[in-house]
Amino acid sequence: MALADYKTALVTGASSGIGAAVVTALRARGISVFATARRIERLEALAAETGCTPLALDLRDTDALYDTLGGLDVDILVNNAGLGRGFEALFEASREDIETTLSTNVIAAAHVLRAVVPGMVARKCGHIVNLGSIAGLYPIKSSIYGASKGAIHLLSQNLRIELQGSGVRMTEICPGRVETEFFQVAVGEEAAKKAYSGFEIMVPEDVSDAILYALDTPWRVNIGTIEMTPNEQFTGGVTIVPVARD
């Protein structure tokens, strides 16, 4: 299986949630992992627990990103870092939240790919995993976050074409609601409790299991997109809201 041929990995957004679960799962399979995030205390705790190599880095600092990641030779990239600032309607969002979300979820993700993927292509071996979202596949009531994940979806689809003949595989994981800090950051503690109430949501290990499945398929297989939601979360449908007019 392909995972046995991989030796090293880079996981962004590794200090908590899905990123930390992926680091733990990869280390359990004997992969050497570079774990990057902004919160050095969390990274050091993860390193003590798993034996990963912590790299404290704000991915929006593009110069630091290339200085830190440009020299890494890794077989696996899990492009996981992201957030949902400005989760309210676009016309209510602050300029700062728009900038933070798009610069983190789209621009930084693209720079991480630019820093790491050339080495994979040169070695004709590697696997890229981009963390998308069902918000990038279906309409939601958050234009900014939805647009950022829609960009990741098409980036992943187009990058798959660009990688033809390189030996590098490309997977996008599109989860629904997962029990992480995402909603606390996006909408605050109380609203997050409502978002997580009423049904059983996924846990980070569910997503890391899907990532390892994609990584561990035979070389003849490329898992392009995995869409996964809690059993009781559904997408699509039509909502009709009458508008009162004077």
Counting as low any pLDDT under 70, the low residues of the chain are 1, 183-188, 191-192, 238-239, 246
Range of the domain at 117: 2-228
Distance CA 186, CA 199 (A): 20
**233 lies in some domain:** no
Residue type at 38 in one-letter notation: R
pLDDT at res. 69: 97
Distance CA 15, CA 56 (A): 10
pLDDT at res. 1: 54
pLDDT at res. 31: 97
Per-residue pLDDT tens over the stretch 65-117: 999 999 899 999 999 999 888 888 899 999 999 999 999 999 999 999 999 99
**209 lies in some domain:** yes
Whether 124 contacts 175, CB under 8 Å: no
pLDDT at res. 131: 97
CA dihedral 194, 196, 199, 204 (to 10 degrees): 180
Helices (H), the chain: 17-28, 40-50, 62-69, 95-102, 109-123, 143-162, 182-187, 189-195, 204-215
**235 lies in some domain:** no
Whether 157 contacts 210, CB under 8 Å: no
Domain with 18 in it: what CATH number?
3.40.50.720
- Whether the model clears a pTM of 0.75, i.e. scores above it, the answer is yes
pLDDT at res. 11: 98
pLDDT at res. 188: 66
Distance CA 85, CA 183 (A): 9
**238 lies in some domain:** no
DSSP state of 148: H
The residues annotated as belonging to the active site are 145
**148 lies in some domain:** yes
**241 lies in some domain:** no
**Domain count within the chain:** 1
**244 lies in some domain:** no
**236 lies in some domain:** no
Per-residue pLDDT tens over the stretch 53-63: 999 999 999 99
